[in-house]
Chains A and B, each alone.
Chain A
Amino acid sequence: MPEPLFMDLLTSIDLETPEQVELKLDLAGPASRFAAQMLDWLLQFIVIMVFVIVLVAADALHFMDMVDEMQGGVLMALTIAIVWVFLIFYGFLFEWLMHGRTPGKWLINLRVISESGGPPTVLALFLRNVLRFADFLPTVYMLGGIVCALNARHQRLGDMAAGTLVIREQAPDQRYMPAAAHDLPRAASSMADTSLTQEETQLLRRFFERRAELTDDARYRLARRLAEQLFRRHGGDHSLSDEKYLEALYQGVES
């Protein structure tokens, strides 16, 4: 099957499960990862700005006068601590609480997973985030970006040490959501029993996959053509509608 041209730019790796089924993982490249990072920076900036504005407003409204000097110090200390934890542990905390995503990664559909395909351990998340200090060098993730671009699995230094990958996640395909799946007759268990050829099975499957999107007219004509051709080869009960006949064929229920 010919791939679209831009697929060359997307890297994926295969992960073999104990069932010996290969699962495909789409790796996130340096560009999309940096885009996620910029969104995270933006969020950090906004949150800190709001925090500062609230503090300044509280001060301007003499809200702070109510707390005496010592408590004012405690407030300042808390401010430093909160802002610092938010900035330094931003990546770790979000990746930990949001199962491998920061808000930026979530927006771009990226996720951190372990090299074995599962969720990373808390220690691995901590390690990859502490090593940001090294990846950031000399500034704006230049070192990490170069390493990530050259690395076959698009890992920055922190990922290499922690054994993690950043993958792109596909959004669920709407056509296969329960509503659309309703259109696809159950076939998995009986596929081998039918006398349909592989090509015919595929043809039918595509039809079922798409029929909800077709206009009524096109759907009707397509069903008619398919049904006529298949009836000639396979026979069966064609007394109901064309689509019912196709479904019956597909299910292997040759009544």
Chain B
Amino acid sequence: MSTTTAVKAPKIKTSALKPRSFISWVTFAFMLAAVIVWLFPFWMAVANALKTPDDFIQQGPLAWPAHVTFEHIVKFWNDSNFPLKFWNSTWTSLAAAGITVAFGFLTAYAIGIGKIKGKTWILGVFMVAFTIPQEALIYPMYNAAKKLNLYDNLLSIVLIFGISGIAFATYLISSVLNEFPTEVLEAAKIDGANAWRMMIDVVLPILRPTLMVITVMVFIYNWNEFLIPLVLLPSNDNQTVSLGIALTVGQWTAEPTARAAAALLGALPSILFFVIFQRSLMRGVTMGSSK
């Protein structure tokens, strides 16, 4: 199998659909109802974020707002300094994903293409490393961050996310590289390429789509991180979206409608990423399991 087929999204041929019976419509309706139940919490967040408090008291939480208002969203946007939190999350998640994929790729190159001795052991240690809980690392990291003046500094989470991800990225990338077509490598070898040239000229161009997929996935994982920012970033201005919403929601928002607005605003970037990067994310998530 070649590398490209290994990362392709699952596809089903739909040239001819099967006939739909009454039972199949019932099944379809049942599944659709289940999906609606699954999305109901988000729907409720939207409906109530756009409601006035009076409307909420009169109509209750289930009704669609009588008058749509963006007041709560704008207020939470300003009060929580949402743009700053958004920026904090974005650049730290992206920079850390860059570190993870770059170093993960180098290590995976030695394992998957170089087939070096002891690769099974290294992968085994990496596998154990990403199953151990963050709680078993957090106190030493907290302690080190304080000593190195990285406490309450966004650089600390960039480094920790970036380096923590290396094990996982190596694992994924090397499983893809294991199936790299040997003929291509042989050809490069005979053309006189050394390990470096082979990596730059042969492996990287072919692997670029896979690396993009992994970058997207790692970015979203970083965005959702909680414990490490919670411990290392105490001050308001350094908080990320997922941390900030969780901590500030009680602070400014006794009003149920305002709380819904905060949750909606916090969820919105992730929903957007999902809509934009759905294919990549799905590929990345399944890549890990099928190997």
The reply to whether chain A is a binding partner of chain B is no
Interface residues of A (CB under 8 A from B): none
Chain B interface (Cβ < 8 Å from any Cβ of A) = none
